[in-house]
Amino acid sequence: MSPTSNSTHTTNDTLAKARIAVLGYGSQGRAHALNLRDSGLDVVVGLRPGGPTWAKAEADGFKVVEPAHAVINADLVAVLTPDMVQPKLYTEAIAPNIKPGAALLFAHGFNVHFKQIDPRKDIDVILVAPKGPGALVRSEYERGRGVPCIWAVQQDVSGHAEAKAKAYADGIGGTRAMLIKTDFKEETETDLFGEQAVLCGGASSLVQAGFETLVEAGYQPEIAYYEVLHELKLIVDLFYEGGITKMLEFVSETAQYGDYVSGPRVIDAGVKARMKGVLTDIQDGTFAKNWIAEYNAGLPNYKKYKQADLDHPVEQVGKQLRARMAWLQAGAAKAAGEPLKKVG
């Protein structure tokens, strides 16, 4: 799948006269809605009455209606709600109301790929997923830039599904950066794998194991926190800005040598083999089946796992240390050089 790029914002002819219904007004929903409107497109927001974001969307100047009403006259319906509420939303509000030839757009392919949603055969089904959080999608747009987007077409009834996907990506600023073509399968499976094996599950477990190793060896929890969690941001920022190359350029030779000889001892062939197991569970639907069953059961294990993370000593120590970081406390006036009180 080859990337395409465009350094300037283009005229959005495909959706110029279209009505776009944005369902959901969380991080991505709000960013998409604001960017689309600022690109000159007609946007209506569909939300549950009395929900926490209804007033926020109204305060931002949008017409806000119930999802079913937003869908009825829409030419493109963007589903930007959490994955697990989408099937019910589709069944109750979208399927009975979306007009033939309209486009149904997702920012994540989970429900279509794992067949929790079976879209009507008389509509386009497309995907546009910015590779960044909603706040970044919005702030980059406001700066005249954009966040790269991946896009896909699952179902093309109108003959213009690709143009609609690219026009939507253009409307949220994606064409200012880069568009990469994908498909629902690739987007879904790689997204889930990245979250589980590296970005969330892998990183959290690595930090916790490193913290435990140092504390169990007798080192101060505060020192352990800084070494295995706090300073991780510095390394991730280097990765983000210039990959492994820039990280190696900006760390010491001692750190580099430790990277070379000790990294493979920790992340060895066994880890990669277990990563392949995680990927297999995603590919064959095991993870999706288990997650859907967990959600339908009321999230008992999810809540237990989450509480265990929140209760982990690295979080207890970190909470107290972060309270002393003036740069993290908006509006806090801390005296320069104020000594750090020992936690414990």
Q: Hey, which residues are catalytic here?
A: 108
Question: Is 120 assigned a ligand-binding role in the annotation?
Answer: no
The DSSP bridge pattern shows strands 124-130 and 149-155 to be antiparallel
Question: Is 25 assigned a ligand-binding role in the annotation?
Answer: yes
**CA-CA distance, 334 to 327, in Å (whole number)?**
9
Nearest to 343 by CA among 316, 325, 312, 309: 316
Question: Is 226 assigned a ligand-binding role in the annotation?
Answer: no
Length of the chain: 344
Question: Is 26 assigned a ligand-binding role in the annotation?
Answer: yes
Instruction: Classify 54 as helix, strand or coil.
Output: helix
Contact by Cβ (8 Å): 166, 175: yes
Question: Is 191 assigned a ligand-binding role in the annotation?
Answer: yes
Contact by Cβ (8 Å): 77, 104: yes
- CA distances to 197, 217, 225, 242, 288 from 294, rounded to whole Å, are 20, 37, 32, 39, 10
Beta-carbon contacts of residue 91 (< 8 Å; ≥ 6 apart): none
Instruction: Classify 219 as helix, strand or coil.
Output: coil
**CA-CA distance, 123 to 100, in Å (whole number)?**
5
Q: Max CA-CA distance within the chain?
A: 66
For residue 239, the one-letter residue type is F
What's the token pair of residue 289? 């089946």
Contact by Cβ (8 Å): 175, 144: no
**CA-CA distance, 265 to 166, in Å (whole number)?**
44
Question: Is 183 assigned a ligand-binding role in the annotation?
Answer: no
Question: Is 48 assigned a ligand-binding role in the annotation?
Answer: yes
The residue whose two tokens read 């119930």 is 66
Question: Is 53 assigned a ligand-binding role in the annotation?
Answer: yes
What's the token pair of residue 286? 């095991």
**CA-CA distance, 266 to 199, in Å (whole number)?**
17
- Which residue ranges are tagged as binding site for NADP(+)? 25-28, 48, 53, 134
Residue ranges of the annotated binding site are: 25-28, 48, 53, 134, 191, 195, 227, 231, 252
Q: Residues annotated in the binding site for substrate, as ranges?
A: 252
Annotated binding-site residues for Mg(2+) read 191, 195, 227, 231
